[in-house]
Amino acid sequence: MHCMITISDHNNFFSYGLYHLFKSHLKICLLVKTTSLANETDDGFIAISFCENVSVTLKIRDKKHMAKELASEVVIFRNDSINQLSSKVECIIANMLKHGHGHDVIYNDRGVIKLTSTQIKICKFFYDGIATKTASILLNLSEKTISTHKRNVMRKINVINNQGLYLWIEKNKNHYF
């Protein structure tokens, strides 16, 4: 199992400090097995392995790129205390262990979702690999309308990416399709 927590500052000293914090101070209370620090392009990553196959990647992002993350992920801020940092990571791990997944794929707990017939058709097209342009021709709708319907479905079922939508359709295809 794997999840990602975003750090709100692309400061090398801050990320290096967090790396050492996990490597030493939080190692015992959070059962950290290994910690590694890596850099990829403009974003840095701190990978932390916990008990069994649970790992958390701390993704270091510049503040100007934070709008998307603030809506969808746990974010660590520079002024967070060690206790806040520890509790955020513990909360993420507990959620992963409880639900069996990280934040990338969020399953809906509300039961049956009401989708319109158009939304169901668009989901079927998406699942079958039909392009937005082809779907727009088949349904006599604009590509923007198709995209909006797809986004509305994703909002209803509480997923944040295409993979989450695909997995939700796979899980619920007998009920809707």
Domain ranges of the chain: 3-99, 117-175
Tell me the HSE value of 170 on the side-chain side, using a 13 A CA sphere.
9
Mean pLDDT computed over 124-132: 90
pLDDT in tens, 145-160: 999 999 999 888 888 8
CA 13/CA 18 separation, integer angstroms: 9
Is 117-175 assigned to CATH 1.10.10.10? yes
- Say how far apart CA 158 and CA 57 lie, in whole Å: 22
pLDDT band for position 173 (cuts 50, 70, 90):
confident
pTM for the whole structure: 0.39
pLDDT class of 24 with cuts at 50, 70, 90: low
Q: Per-residue b/e over 26-56, b at no fewer than 16 CB within 10 Å?
A: beeebebeebebeeeeeebbbbbbbeeebbb
Separation CA 29–CA 109 (nearest Å): 30
Both tokens of 92, joined, read 């993420």
Helical packing angle, 162-176 and 143-157, nearest 10°: 80
When pLDDT is averaged across residues 49-67 and rounded to a whole number, the result is: 53
